[in-house]
Amino acid sequence: MSFAVVGYFAFLLIGLVVYYLIPRKFSWIWLLMLSYIYYFTFNIRTSLYMVSTTLFIYFGGLALNKVIDNGNTYLKENKEQLTKEEKKAYKERLKKRKRLVLTAIILLCFGQLAVVKYSGFALENINSIMSLFGAKKQFDVVQFALPLGISFFTFQSVSYIVDVYQGKYVCQKNPFKLALFVSFFPQLLQGPIGRYDRLSGQLYEGNKFDLTNIEFGLQRIIWGLGKKLILADRAAVVVNEVFGNYDNYGGLFNVVAVLMYSVQLYMDFSGGIDIVIGTAQMFGIKMDENFRQPYFSKSIGEFWRRWHITLGAWMKDYIFYPMSLSKGMNKFSKWGRKHIGNFVGRTLPICFVDIVIFFIVGIWHGASWKYIVYGLYNGFILAFSSLMEPVYKKMAQKCHINTNSRGWKVWQIIRTFILVNIGWYFDMAGSFKDALVMMKYTVVGFSPSLLFDGSLLRLGIGVRDYWIILIGCIVIFVISLLKEKGVSIRESIANKNIVIRWGIWYVFILLIIIFGYTEGVQAFLYANF
């Protein structure tokens, strides 16, 4: 195992021992210390962005709370004196004040994110546009050092302040407790994006030592490490070789590279989430699941409901519902039902919102046109599928297709998998242009014989490595299939006696040590988001 893995386990062991030895009323303070130590070890200077975000939502929450309390007090004290119209007018002014505070805090949070993550990209495009018009003066492009997990803690912080605005809960008046919610160390690098109402109690109240939590948490960490070290880092070699030197490859090489990227991305991200959830569970903290067998999805929409679940839930709660239920969208829907037809008029506004959301998802992935195209690609597929749903049903009826049959469902899964993998070109290629060139090269010169003539050995890994990836993917597939059917492998193992139970996990640890790819350990892909 790498030094980083050993170091993490040492850090975790110290953290757990102290956590369960100190009085429970101080446990949240220790978690806060652990979180800041963990995050500051990466880069102290960039860590200050997390501190500033915490301060934004802390003082923003206090300001919102003050506006709400003052408003309620005024209405209560002047209940008898105010007319119905005066009360209505005052409530409207109160709502505007709240909205002003909320807008200011959101602009500060997302403004900081935009400057750090996207200002370079924006200035490069402005310079390109200016050059088209013959402008000689160019803006200096400054690339900021990107804080780890800035998108994750920003989105999590914004959800908190919006929920306070909506009256879901009262703002946290202790700045250090709020800092713990923002900085809880397992989730910082890649999520999941937590919600205050589900996490705060677990973080602040402390938890009793529970051997089951320790066992299950450790097992989840081991499982995640296996996915990362055995499969993701090994597949990354092929991905980096082909996508980094796309001019030298084409045809089947590109197909293999994209399939390997499917393996790498899923095993890396879901493996990292396994480590996050397992770590939190060892402290007695239950975090939201972030994956639910995404490659069993029968549509793009279902895929995104199963992949990065907490991001999808965030988009749904804080963008989709506010936009789709807005006055503008209601007017658009009424106009559409009147002039275009009931179904299209009702569906078209939702399609528009879906495209906007996936545009945001694309930008969230990174400051590059390839990510924007990647997001729009998924958004337009989803919108088109929604609009064409009645047509698909009629075609299925005319062709006498049983849409409930296993064969049809398998075809839907395969079709979705292909569409998802096409999108990976934009996600992994160096640029939008590179992605298009790679797509072209995939079609041109496609030769299945490359699978058998040893050409794949040029991609950086040997026959043994390909077999390890194949067998590993089969194992993951079988386990995922069982989970899809409601069977929990881990609980089944937990019901065995201690010798068999831990014997299985010791074997798995040995497999990680023996087959873990240590020649080029990769950082977690989503750590830079």
Instruction: Give 348-372 pLDDT, tens digit per residue.
Output: 999 999 999 999 999 998 889 999 9
Looking at the domain assignment, is residue 367 inside a domain? yes
Query: Considering Cα of 463, then 468, then 471, then 476, what sign does the dihedral take?
Result: negative
Distances (CA, A) of 404 to 411, 412, 438, 468, 483: 12, 11, 37, 35, 21
Q: How many helices (H) and strands (E) does the chain have?
A: 22, 0
Are residue 206 and residue 309 in the same domain, yes or no?
Answer: no
Instruction: Indicate the residue among 427, 446, 465 that finishes a domain.
Output: 446
pLDDT band of 430, cuts 50, 70, 90:
confident
What is the average pLDDT score of the chain?
90
Looking at the domain assignment, is residue 222 inside a domain? no
Looking at the domain assignment, is residue 510 inside a domain? no
| Cβ contact 281:19 at 8 Å | no
How far apart are the C-alpha atoms of 61 and 158, rounded to whole Å? 11
Question: What would the mean pLDDT of 218-230 be, rounded to a whole number?
Answer: 93
The tokens describing 502, both together, are 């831990």
Are residue 187 and residue 300 in the same domain, yes or no?
Answer: no
Query: Considering Cα of 471, then 475, then 477, then 481, what sign does the dihedral take?
Result: positive
Of 474, 419, 406, nearest in space to 301 by CA: 419
Are residue 423 and residue 304 in the same domain, yes or no?
Answer: yes
Are residue 338 and residue 205 in the same domain, yes or no?
Answer: no
Are residue 63 and residue 161 in the same domain, yes or no?
Answer: yes
Are residue 438 and residue 303 in the same domain, yes or no?
Answer: yes
Inform me whether the pLDDT recorded for 346 exceeds 50. Answer: yes
Taking the chain, what is the end-to-end CA distance rounded to the nearest angstrom? 25
Instruction: Indicate the residue among 210, 226, 245 that finishes a domain.
Output: 210
Looking at the domain assignment, is residue 85 inside a domain? yes
Which pTM value belongs to this model? 0.91
| Cβ contact 409:461 at 8 Å | no
Looking at the domain assignment, is residue 455 inside a domain? no
Are residue 190 and residue 301 in the same domain, yes or no?
Answer: no
Are residue 183 and residue 300 in the same domain, yes or no?
Answer: no
Amino acid identity of residue 516, one-letter, is: G
> Could you report the per-residue pLDDT of 98-143, keeping only the tens digit for each?
999 999 999 999 999 999 898 888 888 888 888 888 777 777 777 7
- SS3 for 172? coil
Q: Which domain holds residue 365?
A: 296-446
Query: What domain count does the chain have?
Result: 2
Looking at the domain assignment, is residue 244 inside a domain? no
Instruction: Indicate the residue among 421, 446, 471 that finishes a domain.
Output: 446
Looking at the domain assignment, is residue 386 inside a domain? yes
Distances (CA, A) of 12 to 203, 282, 502: 16, 9, 20
Are residue 40 and residue 149 in the same domain, yes or no?
Answer: yes
pLDDT band of 1, cuts 50, 70, 90:
very low
- Dihedrals phi, psi of 307, to nearest 5 degrees: -105, 130
Of 72, 51, 146, 61, nearest in space to 102 by CA: 61
In DSSP notation, 31-83 reads: HHHHHHHHHHTT-HHHHHHHHHHHHHHHHHHHHHHHHHHHHHHHHHHTTTTS-
Looking at the domain assignment, is residue 431 inside a domain? yes
Inform me whether the pLDDT recorded for 2 exceeds 70. Answer: no
Are residue 205 and residue 301 in the same domain, yes or no?
Answer: no
Are residue 182 and residue 307 in the same domain, yes or no?
Answer: no
- Dihedrals phi, psi of 207, to nearest 5 degrees: -135, 145
